[in-house]
Every structure is written in C-alpha cells, then in structure tokens.
Amino acid sequence: MKIDPNWPALSSEEAKRLAAEGKANVSSSSASKSVKQIWLSNLFTFYNMLNIVLAVLVITTGSYRNMMFLGIVISNFLIGTIQELRAKKTVDNLSVLTAPTARVIRDGEEKILPCKELVLGDVVLIGAGDQITADGTVLSGEARLNESLITGESDAVLKSSGDNLFSGSFVISGEVAVLLTAVGAESYAERLTLEAKKLKTAKSVLKTAMMNIIKTVTVFIVPMGVLTFYNHYISQGLSYVDSMIPTVAAMVGMIPDGLYLLTSMSFAVGVVRLAQKRTLTQQLYSLESLARADVLCLDKTGTITSGNMKIKGTVSFDGDDIGALAAEIYSAVPADNATARAIVSAFGSRNPIEKPAENILPFSSALKYVAADFGEEGCYMLGAPEFVTGGSFPEVLEKAAEYSGDGTRVLALCKGIFDGKLYKAEKPLGFILIEDEIRPNVSETFEYFRKNDVSIKVISGDNPAAVSAIAKKAGVIGAENYIDASALSDEELSSAAEKTVVFGRVSPEQKRVIIKALQKSGHTVAMTGDGVNDVLALKDADCSVAMASGAQAASHAAQLVLLDSDFSAMPEVVLEGRRVINNIQRAASIFLMKTMYTFALTATLLFVPFAYPFAPIQMTLIGAVASGIPGVLLALEPNFKRVQKHFLSTVLKRAIIAAATVFIGIMAVLIINENLDAAVRLSIEEVSTICTVYTGAASLMTLLTTCLPLNKFKAAIVIGSTVVFSAAISLFEELFMLVPLSEFGRIILLALLPLTLIQLIIRDIQLRKEKDYASKRNKSSGIRAF
C-alpha cells in the first residue's frame, strides 16, 4: 500500500514524547511469570509452609539435628527456582524472535517496529496474517478480519474506511491503513496477549494425576499428624519430646515434596533443551500433549512443502495472456500470500489493463479466489477451479484434474461479471500451473511417526487430488485415500475424519470440525500450521505447533513454535516430551512409595500400642539417598520409549508393591519385638535402627527395580546411592540416631532383608511380559521396536 501524505502520521519525536507520557502499546500483564512470581511461587507452597511449621515444632523439642529435613526443602526450592528462571530466560530470549512487529508510518516513511513501541496516534499498515495489537480506525483500504477472540464468531468481517478495529482479531485478507485510537491497557491488547496464548491450556494427564495425589495427601496429612501426636502423648502417655519427634517424622515422610520438584524441574529442563534446538515452548505441558498424540494433522503448504511457490506454466484456452491478466488482478489486490507473490514475480512486468479496478475481492480461505472489476475493461476472477467456476463448467474441472494429478496446483482464470454484490464467472480463459517443492527429510519424518503409531492427516485448502499426489510423494501412508471437503456437510466430514487421510478444499471452520471429530473418537490430536486459516484449528488441537515463518496469528495461537520452520524437527520435540514424561513416571513411584508406606504405617499405629519407629532425621536420610537425589538425576537421562497410557495407575502399581514391602517389614519388627520376653526385647532405639536400615534397603531395591534395565548411568546412580546410605549408617550413627544392634536385633534384620527381593522378582516378571508383548506387537505390525 502506498503512503498517503494526508495520513496523520507521527514523527519520531512525537512518538518519543507520547511514549514518555505512558501512551505506548505496552502490556501491563504477561502470559508468563515474572522473576518475582517465580521466587514467590516456589517459596510459598503448601508443603514448604508445612515443613517450616514442622521445623518450629522440632525446635520446641530441642532436638535440632532432626531439622535436617529443611536441607531438602531448601534444596528443592533452590533447584526448582533456578531451573524455572533458566527456562524463563531462555524462552524470553527466543520470544523476541517471534514477538509481533508492525509496519508503522513515522517521519513519512514505513518502518518495522515491535508492537510494544507503537504509540497512540500512530498510523500502521496491516495485511493478511497480521494480528491487531491495538485498537484503531481504518483510514484506507479494505480487509477481512476474523474476530472470533472478541465475538466468538469465526465468520470473516469486512472492514473499510471509517470502521473500527480491535486487538484480539487478525487479518484474513486485504490490507488497511489504521490510525491507533487506544493502546496498551486502554485497548484489547491485554486480551490478545493472554487469550492468544492461554485461551486453550494444554491438556495434561500428568498434571492432573499429580494434582490428584497432592490434593489427597493435603487432605489427610494434617489430621493424621494431630492424631499421631494425640496417640503418643495422651493414649500412650509418652513425653512431649517422645511424642512430637515421631509425629514430625510421620508428617515429613508423608510429604511428597520431591515429586513436585521432579515435575517442575523435568519440564523446565525440557523447555531449555528444546530452546537449544530452536523450538519455543509457549505452554509448559504442551510437551506432554505432543508426546501422547496419536494423530498429527498438518497443512500441505509450509509443512510438507517449503511454501516457495514457482510458476510451472500457463494454459490458455483462447490465446489470452493468462499470466499478464493474473498479474493485473494483483496490481489491484494486495499480493498477500505466497501464490500471489509468485504470480507477480513471474508476470508483474506485463500490464494489459491500464485502468484501475473499480472493485476488488481479496483472497480468503473460505472463498478460495480473488477478483477485480475493471469496469469496461472487464471483470476477472482467479482461484480454485471449483470455486471460481461455481461448478458451471464441468469440462474445465476435468482439464484441471488432469493437470493436478501429479501434485501441480491449478488456478483457473475466468472472465466474469460483478453485479455490485457478487462475482460470477462467465467465460473460463485458462490455467496457471504452480508447483511447490517438497521439504527435504520430510519422508523420514513421516516414517518416524508411522513407526510410532501416529496417524497422519493432511488437511489443505488445495485440490484434493493434487494434495494427495504430493502427500504420496512425501511418504504419507494412505495418501490415496482423499476426499473433497467442500462437497461435505459437517456431519459427513465428521464421519469421514477417522478413515480419511487427505482432506482437500477444507475451509478454516472445517479444520475445526475434523479436529473435534478426531478428539471425540478418543484421539489425542496435534496440529501443525503456519497460516491464518490454521489459527482456529490450532486453538482446538490438544497440542498446536506453528512455523515461525508463517502468519503472526498462527505463532501466537500455538503452544510450540518451530523457529526454523522445519517440520523435520518434530521428532526431536516428540522425543524430548517422551523423555520428560517417562522419567517423571519412572521416578514418581520412588517418591510415592515413601508417602504410601508412611501413610499406611501412621494410620495403623493409631489403633495399636506401638510408637512410631522413625525420627525425622532418619526419614530425611532415606528420602534424600533413595529417592530425592536419584530422582533428580534420573530426570536428566534420555528415555525415548513410547509413552504409556494410564500414568497414575502405572505409577501406583509400582509404588504399592514397594510400599507394601516396607510396611510389612516394619510391622513385622514391631509385632515380633512386642511378643518377645522382656529379657531379650529390643529397645526403642534398636527398633528404630532396624526399621531405618530395612526401609533404606527396601527403598534402594525400589530404586534398582525402577532403573531396570540398567545402563552405566543408572547403575552408577544405584551403586552411588547404596554406598552413600551404607556410609551414613556406618560412620554417622549418632547423627542419625542409630545404635549398635544386639545379636537378636541383627538376626531380625537379616531375616527381614530378603523381603526386599520381592520387588525385584515382580519387576523381572513385568519386564518379561513387556518384552513378549512388544515382540508380538512388532511381528504383527511388521515394524521394529523404536
């Protein structure tokens, strides 16, 4: 669009003054946490506050060494905060690369500036694919907008001179010059930033499971602590110190503090690792959604193909200069997409029509054609043959099908009429043939998804036969199974979503229909896109991925952004998601084991006359050596196996077996000792020592079974944890409130230790079953295990 000297554009000095007055387009809110919020959210958690209260209670007993559990609390706080700050810094640095920019008129010239540098009264140029980040009034031009974020309606709205624009909408087609009338907090810019990024939060099975666990623990932990103290102090008549120390120990054991750290740290590390691979994560749990996805929907242009359109040739029915006429249309209508730019580049120097257009119709994904009315010189329409001709010229459609059979994109040029409202084709003039190169390595990417049971759905606005041919060349299995979505109702399209692979002539609204139909069938759906026509579907998908080179609206709507716009990077993103989920799932059972056996033991001891056999410092030792430190290290290990369904049930099965082993062993010690003659009965200190050593051994066995099958890294973790625990109970007996065992005490301990092998036996059986299942599955599907 040419600059009009009559536009009330600002000078740089005026813009600087307005910015100093607070009239800049600066958001007062953010879609991500601030540094202060990160520190506070990690510090003031329920469990941190509970641990501080417990520490105060320990202080009242004078047993200061039992406050060692605060060391784990502080470590959790620092590690979690540092990792989150590191992730924030990385994401913020990458966000600069995808931050929205605007074309603004300053000092009479067009300049590209970040949207946050716009000020009240600026004149900006807005075209197809741009998001509107401040309110304004149209000065010149016409554009069709999607205002679904504001009105909830996805129908395109035509805006022309004098109309108001609101941030939160985006341009589908056309170009306008806009005078900004409200910026920053006075406009819808706040809504744009937050809704475009947070309108749909990534679904997380893992987050839901974790929250359920934490809520359950939270409900019971304080009442259990109160009852434990009452049982020791009132029912058993023990002293305040002898009642408070085991009460604190029980509550420390029930807190799954390491579980929260493990989850937040794993995702933070995943975000940083993806950033190093040029992938911006805009929603933390989107990694999980993509790793769990079993259907991947994608557009053809910009994903399978590079989006670099090239003119292959023209076909004229009656000798007309098809290329020149097509270029003439785009001399009147802004060339706001790759197809238009390719036509202008190839034929733009020819100008058979000198008269300016009296009326134009910019391209839109819904209409799929562009038109211009030059009055006496004629009216011309260019676009998808089915839509331009309106189905009135079947012979033209037959010819178009012949050219599109090899994947060539065919545009039909027709001469028509404009009655003041609608365009109608009267005479087909010819075709423009366009080709788009297939991206390198895309076949390997599709093969990866095939081997990992992820179905591919190609959803495109182009001719279904042409899309099918390109998809087949790219290696999409079942690409020959295609349909023309323009001929189907929403109900018919929903029914076809499951069995169809390639969808052609799909409107933006139909993309949403396909996504929702697949989700309704129980699929976890990921969607990739780069255009304005993909925005609505990106918001509906379980995980959305945008190409940074595409429309700004698509990047803002997506949960993940590929900064290099390279579809072949998708497997690495999936693998990182798998690493995060699998490691959390693996290590979670270690943390939950401690919580479960502590709950079971505490609840049982409320009804029997036994004292709780642990001190807080002993629980701290077991938790740190057998779960805390190993859990953090395991979260960093590569783990690219397919993500298992039923996260919570899988974790609980492993944790229950381990917790049962500990619970049975401890109860056996307490019952045996209670029934011994007074002469040989063990002291409370000896019972505590046996329980500590046995629980530590059982926890280390849980660590071992969790790490199976072993590699060098996991073996080092298991051996290192065992050595540290052994050294602690041997060299620091007094610190950890342990005492030498009598001969009978050693006999009881040695008799109990074989119980820990039950975990190993059960885990070995599970691994054998998993191996047999994988072998049978791969034989039946004809693929190798990944």
| Residues composing the chain | 786
Distance of alpha carbon 302 from alpha carbon 285, whole angstroms: 25
User: What's the number of CA atoms in the CB half-sphere (13 Å) around residue 131?
Assistant: 32
Backbone angles phi, psi at 422, to 5 degrees: -125, 150
110-114 — which CB contacts under 8 Å span 24+ positions?
110/3
> What is the three-state SS of 158-227?
EECCCCEECECEEEEEEEEEEEEEECHHHCCHHHHHHHHHHCCCCCCHHHHHHHHHHHHHHHHHHHHHHH
Q: Which amino acid is at 617?
A: I
| Token duo for residue 659 | 């917790």
What DSSP line would sit under 256-275, residue for residue? -HHHHHHHHHHHHHHHHHHH
Residue 464 DSSP label: H
Out of 122, 299, 462, 534, the active site residue is 299
| Angle of CA points 273, 275, 280, to nearest 5° | 130
Give SS3 for 737.
coil
Distance of alpha carbon 113 from alpha carbon 454, whole angstroms: 41
Cβ(367)–Cβ(340) under 8 Å? no
Give SS3 for 392.
coil
Encode 568-588: b = buried (16+ Cβ within 10 Å), e = exposed. Answer: bbbbbbbbbbbbbbbbbbbbb
Packed helices 69-98 and 35-43: angle between N→C axes, nearest 10 degrees: 150
Return the number of other C-beta atoms located less than 10 Å from residue 769's C-beta.
10
Q: Which amino acid is at 167?
A: S
Packed helices 684-707 and 757-781: angle between N→C axes, nearest 10 degrees: 10
Q: Which amino acid is at 764?
A: D
| Token duo for residue 22 | 């607070």
Q: Which amino acid is at 408?
A: T
Distance of alpha carbon 375 from alpha carbon 382, whole angstroms: 17
Nearest CA to 602 out of 236, 246, 351 is that of 246
Active site residue 299: yes
**CA distances from residue 613 to 51, 481, 543, 691 in whole angstroms, order as listed:** 20, 67, 48, 7
- Residue 425, beta-bridge partner list: 416
**CA distances from residue 705 to 597, 628, 763, 765, 775 in whole angstroms, order as listed:** 17, 16, 6, 11, 22
Cβ(738)–Cβ(662) under 8 Å? no
| Token duo for residue 449 | 């998804």
CB-based contacts of 747, cutoff 8 Å, min separation 6: none
Cβ(262)–Cβ(632) under 8 Å? yes
User: What's the number of CA atoms in the CB half-sphere (13 Å) around residue 516?
Assistant: 14
| Token duo for residue 67 | 């406050």
Pairing of strands 525-529, 543-547: parallel
Tokens 């600059």 map to which residue? 3
Strand order in the sheet with 305-316: 305-316, 423-438, 409-418, 379-383, 369-373, 359-361
| Token duo for residue 206 | 């893992």
Q: Looking at the annotation, which residues are catalytic?
A: 299
